[in-house]
Every structure is written in structure tokens, then in C-alpha cells.
Amino acid sequence: MIDFIGKRVWFAGLSSILVIASALLLTVGPGLNEGIDFTGGTSTTLQINDENVGTDDVRSIFAEAGFSDALIQSTGDGSFFIRTEVQNEAAQNEILAALNRAYPDQTASDIRPEVTTVGKSVADDTVSNSIQAVVVASIFIILFLFWAFRAVTAAYRYGLAAVIALAHDVVLTLGLFVILGEVIGAEVNASFIVGTLTVIGYSVNDTIVVFDRIRENVRLGTGRSFRAVVNQSLNESIMRSLGTSFTTAVVIVAMLLFGGETLRDFLLVLLAGVVIGTYSSVFIAAQVLVFWEERGFLGRRRPVEAT
């Protein structure tokens, strides 16, 4: 039997380092690469059927149309993703005219810009609604766990421990996306929020599996310490958690490989959430319960019974 509880200091230390690093990346580091859903602006997906066209060529076209600060990302095979400040109809016509001048031999079907514009007020509403969605989801999770574990002494601990694990998951996912934004241009947009909410649900489900096993073993009343009961419960449930997470991750990786660019950022959130959520269910949420039991609500150390 693996002594998970005996190694909790190592798990807590690793998580603390990762959380602090993520917080630094978010605050004093480069920060998240926010999409137009959060910042407002216009995104253009451009397909040019010319194998010789490059990022510099597209940049010069947009500069000619008055968007010299456009952010341009090549996605391969003559496809480009461009983000600019809000484009009005006249600006879009000027960009199309510049494209026609640069590639006069290309037909309308050879040059296909797809334009999406989000106003600043809509972007602000998206940010506000996203924060509210995460907060409301966390509140309902606490209430649900209060009800589900109402027969257990101090049931509120289970709800708060799950939310602590969720906060851990969200912060690490955000920190990871700062790095992915710098490396591969991953964006935080509306699909990222959907993915985050999905991750919250998945992580809570995994945590409940572990907590339910702890509850059942506590009810058996074997006379062992709470630490020993939690450690036994983790050993009994870890293979189920790992098996579920592995099969889910395999599907997500397959979709990442064959699902195309559109779903990439959403799937990256899911993959990160599955891995981090599984880790936190075993090494964070359950450990918080043990710490709380042994030190009490205000941190007063309680005697640890023999195992």
C-alpha cells in the first residue's frame, strides 16, 4: 500500500511552487494571450492558395490597409490567422483590395478571408459573465457536497476541500496557458471558458469518487485514525481515477491530432484539466481533509491516533 498521506509535504510543496509560478506568470509575466472575445477587435482567417506566401507578405498587405500592428500567425498551407483592432466595412474592403493587388492572378475562391468582429462592450460582458460563471459553479459545488456528505461529521470540510482543489486546478491551467500562448499562440477566448467549466465538472467528479470512498471507510468505524482511513481510500480509488483519466486523455489527444486548428485551444484546456484535476483529487483535496482533521479549523494540532 502506498503511503500517500506520509508524502503530503512533497505534494504540497510541488503544488505551492507551481501555483506561485503560475501566479507570477499571470501578474508580472507575459500574461494570458487574450482573444478578441475578451479584448474586442477583429479576427481574420485568411486562406491564400499560393505556396510562396509568407507571414511578412500578409503583414505588408495589412500595413498597406492601415493595420501595421496586426498580429499574424501562420497555420500552414497558405492559411493565416490575423488579429487587429476593430475593422469597419471600409477597412475590410481596403484589405480585400490590397489582397487583390498583391495577388492579381488569384480568383475570389483562391483568396477567402473570413472575418469576425467583437465590440469592446461585448468583450467586457464576456469577461464579467465568465467570472460569474466560475463563481456560481463553485458555490453550487460547495452546496452539493454539503448535501451529499451531510451524514459525515463536519461535512462542510468536503465542500471547501473540493473548492480548494478546484482553485488549484484553475490557477495551474491559467499558468500553463500563459506558456502555451507564448509558445504556440494559444488564446483565452469563449471556448476556453467553456473548457474551464467542463474541467471544473470533471475535476469535481473525480474528487467525489475519492471522497465517497473516504466516507464509506469512515462509516465502517474500524477504530483507525482518519489519516489511515484516507490513505486506504486513496489506494482503493486511485486506479479507477487513473483509468478514467487515461482513457479521456487518449480521446482528447486523438482529437487534437485530427480535429483541426479550430478546436485546438478548447481541447488543450480539457487535456490540462484532466491531468491536473486527477492530480488534485488525490494529492490536494484528500490531503486538505487530513490536514484539517489533524490541526483543526484554526490550525490547532490534534493528536494523531495510531494507525
Domain ranges of the chain: 5-35+122-295, 41-118
pLDDT of 100 higher than 70: yes
Name 44's Cβ contacts closer than 8 Å, sequence gap at least 6.
81, 82, 83, 84, 87, 95, 113, 114, 115, 116
pTM, entire model? 0.72
5-35+122-295: CATH, from 1.10.3720.10, 1.10.287.40, 1.20.1640.10, 3.30.470.20: 1.20.1640.10
Provide the pLDDT for residue 3: 81
Mean pLDDT of the residues in the chain: 78
Instruction: Assign 135 a pLDDT band (cuts: 50, 70, 90).
Output: confident
Higher pLDDT, 112 or 241: 241
Q: Among residues 257, 131, 258, 274, which one has the least CA distance to residue 201? A: 274
- In words, the CATH class of domain 41-118 is alpha beta
Provide the pLDDT for residue 250: 92
Q: What is the mean pLDDT of residues 236-261?
A: 85
Q: Among residues 272, 268, 76, 263, which one has the least CA distance to residue 171? A: 272
Neighbours of 239 (CB within 10 A): 9
What's the distance, CA 215 to chain centroid?
Answer: 29
Provide the pLDDT for residue 117: 62
3-state secondary structure of 47: strand
Instruction: Assign 292 a pLDDT band (cuts: 50, 70, 90).
Output: confident
Provide the pLDDT for residue 261: 66
**Distance of alpha carbon 304 from alpha carbon 307, whole angstroms:** 9
Please name the amino acid found at residue 189. Answer: N
